[in-house]
Structure 1
Amino acid sequence: MGISPYYILLLIPILSAFLLLLLSLIARPRPSRIPIKGRHVFITGGASGIGLAIAHQAAAEGARVSILARNPKRLGEAREAVRLATGVEINVFSADVRDAKAVSRAVEEAGPIDVLVCNQGVFMPLELEKQELEEVKFMVDVNLMGTFHLIKAALPTMKRRTRETGLPASIALMSSQAGQVGIYGYAAYSASKFALRGLSEALQHEVIADNIYVSLIFPPDTETPGFVEGEQERRPELTNIIAGSSKGMKADDVAKASLNGIKSGRFIIPCNFEGTMIAIATCGLSPQSSFITAFIEVAGASFLRLTALFFQWNWFCTIEKWQKTKNSSKLKENTY
């Protein structure tokens, strides 16, 4: 005798309830709210784009905001823009995140930080074979090493701050959906952004005892000056074909999703529906404080893995078709 479909249907909610109970006991780190009103939010890459949008929103919510960037003129313009929009004066600091000493001086001058947002980033899309190693090094130095410099400079006082106030703090790292999925033409950039995940996962283990929560933000293509001036103009044709189907976001919307995720103490912060699906598909061994999200990850992992394989199949077919067209064009040119 087989098992009755009635009993199978009855088992599904029972097993789901048991799994939810289990996940509520084992999900770590424990959920926490990170208050920002009246606290010091320090944002790098804050003179434009997502960083400036986060500065606007944090200032509007009553945070004491500091921004860091390289260009003094843009910093002045950003400070004035925030003042006009919110009536709040923010502090600005000019430094290159590749310079550990300059970063340390800026952080010391700014004072103890409660929420550190490592938002700086550069992107130069190109096939690795064609890309100069100086460009590769530049991206790694800004996107990855710059983040190390910031965390090293800010962490000692952040730890003292949490002990003194009893309030949780946050370190947020701005990655990219290209830090979850590798795409043609993104080899160097993806390497620098994928590395932030390893840094974040290990760092969360190291600082949770100090009541510091790490967040890793994965925005899609975002309408920022850097995207328009750099990424879109330089992206290889095949990259545009593969990545062109993904919908971009406005900087304000990314900033809102980022700040809400930071305040919720979430480790992984996707910024749209597509990002949420990618986050579930790539969750792996990442920390997860929400047992509801953990349940969705467990339940959806197999289906989303299958979906991911279809995406990869489509991308490889696109590459194969593009290469055939390119080779055919070269053959015709040589014939004539």
Structure 2
Amino acid sequence: MLFAILFTSFLFLLILYVIIRPRPVKVPIKHRHVFITGGSSGIGLAIAKRAAIEGARVSIMARNIEKLEEAKKSISLASGALDVCIFSADARDYDAVQRAVNDAGPIDVLVVNHGVYEHDVLERQGLDVVKNIIEVNLIGSFNVIKAALPLMKKDRKDKGPASIALMVSQAAQVGIYGYTAYSASNFGLRGLAEALQQEVISDNIHVSLIFPPDTETPGYKEAKRTMPELTKTIVGSPVPMKTDDVALKTLQGIKSGNFIVPCNFLGHVLAIATTGLSPQRSFIMAAMEVVFAGICRLIGLAYLWETYRSIEMWHNKQK
């Protein structure tokens, strides 16, 4: 009996090892060009500082030139790097993005970090707000990636493993009341990433999706203040992550070539529950997904039960 269990387990692990694609990879950071959008504040600035400390040549892009100048000084002070480059461009403007990318030169690690969010129910949210969220978060990401790809493919100096990392959020893993437009943009980024990985794998470019939870960024407090009351009831009062902690998880995920990069325990649970047909390089994570998928689905159903119960109770109270 014991032999049968051991043999079955070995066969199961062997099958996983053989079928895992893409294969594991290591993406170096030191002495390479890391280009970060939304790099003047928040998570983007924290990633820029950590990448510079690890020896990368860092370029950051954002809209506000004054904030970019302040960020440049902050990065240099934190890392001692003197060659930090800044580029002022709106991600919605493809021509401006292309000029910034061309001026920056070939990119080894592209971190698509820019984004906006404003939470409200769709019925109340203006279409101008919805369009802006989609244009900045989704179309802006297409613009940045499309502008960077030709140089990433043809002109990388060492032709070593490169990375495109998209900063989404846990709103790309589960829809939440009041997050309609924001979740739509994030789910779109997930589809973009899954298809893009198949398109660029032959060029040794590896895509990562970063899933931070609520994080202490400049826009966090304002978003929390304007959040619908029912949304606050559903999500509770989570303790936001520090930007430095998210930056650490981000660079660890990029260097490991991981497609899914959760930042906390809940993110790992959601990653297993929503893995679907996402690429998986890690042999260990693949085994966990297969073994624990059913359990995570059960946890998810319990979460949905509580969510819809809260919605029902809230609406009954309003009536």
- TM class by shorter chain equals over 0.9
Deviation at residue 161 of structure 1 after TM alignment = 3.3
Secondary structure at 1:21 match in 2: helix
Secondary structure at 1:68 match in 2: strand
Secondary structure at 1:254 match in 2: helix
- The answer to whether residue 98 in structure 2 is matched with residue 104 in structure 1 is yes
- The answer to whether residue 127 in structure 2 is matched with residue 153 in structure 1 is no
Match of 1:17 in 2: 10
Match of 1:312 in 2: 304
Match of 1:129 in 2: 123
**Equivalent-residue separation in structure 2 for 1:252 and 1:280 (angstroms):** 25
Deviation at residue 279 of structure 1 after TM alignment = 0.4
TM-score normalized by structure 2?
0.98
Pick from 49, 60, 65 the counterpart of residue 56 of structure 1.
Answer: 49
Alignment of 1:287-298 (within 5 A): 287-298=279-290
Alignment of 1:106-255 (within 5 A): 106-162=100-156, 164-229=157-222, 231-255=223-247
Deviation at residue 245 of structure 1 after TM alignment = 4.7
Gaps of 5+ in 1: 1-6, 328-336
Secondary structure at 1:13 match in 2: helix
TM-score normalized by structure 1?
0.93
CA contact (8 A) 1:114 1:161 kept: no
**Equivalent-residue separation in structure 2 for 1:13 and 1:192 (angstroms):** 45
**Equivalent-residue separation in structure 2 for 1:289 and 1:86 (angstroms):** 31
CA contact (8 A) 1:20 1:292 kept: no
Gaps of 5+ in 2: none
Larger gyration radius, structure 1 or structure 2? 1
Aligned-residue RMSD, C-alpha = 1.0
Secondary structure at 2:219 match in 1: helix
Match of 1:78 in 2: 71
**Equivalent-residue separation in structure 1 for 2:6 and 2:122 (angstroms):** 50
**Equivalent-residue separation in structure 2 for 1:137 and 1:238 (angstroms):** 24
**Equivalent-residue separation in structure 2 for 1:130 and 1:73 (angstroms):** 34
Q: How many correspondences in the alignment?
A: 318
1:105-153 per-residue CA deviation (whole Å, 9 max, x = no partner) reads 0000011100000000100100000000000000000000000000110
**Equivalent-residue separation in structure 1 for 2:209 and 2:75 (angstroms):** 25
